[in-house]
Amino acid sequence: MATFNAEAQSHAARTIAALRAESERLRAACTRYGYRVSPSDTHFFLIGVANAADAQRALLERDNLLVRDCSSFGLPNDIRVAARTPPDNDRLIEALDGLSSRLQP
């Protein structure tokens, strides 16, 4: 099977390492800007906001960034984000910084 060959295993290992590093960088930036960040063992995590629906709308309208409103999970004060490429993560970091006074509880 192709998924088990050395090339596929190497690609998977590099991808996982890159996502972990970007996730750590993204979480650190959010914390630095005063957001509550939930621990996670994956490349996606929750960020505490004043109102998840408002945060989702603001990020989409202002910066064309889509995050998950966690209200449907019973978490109306959390959005879920996922680490992506460094440029994508930089855009999210900048947007969260620029909207911090409006989004934070």
Whether the CB-CB separation of 89 and 34 falls below 8 Å is answered with no
Q: How many CB atoms lie within 10 A of CB 65?
A: 17
Mean pLDDT of 73-98: 96
Mean pLDDT for all residues in the chain:
93
CATH number, domain 2-103, options 3.40.50.10480, 3.90.1150.10, 3.40.50.150, 3.40.50.300:
3.90.1150.10
Query: Could you tell me the pLDDT band of residue 91, with boundaries at 50, 70 and 90?
Result: very high
- For the question of whether the overall pTM of this predicted structure is more than 0.85, the answer is yes
Could you give the percent of the chain with pLDDT greater than 90?
83
Give residue 2's pLDDT: 54
- pLDDT(35) > 80: yes
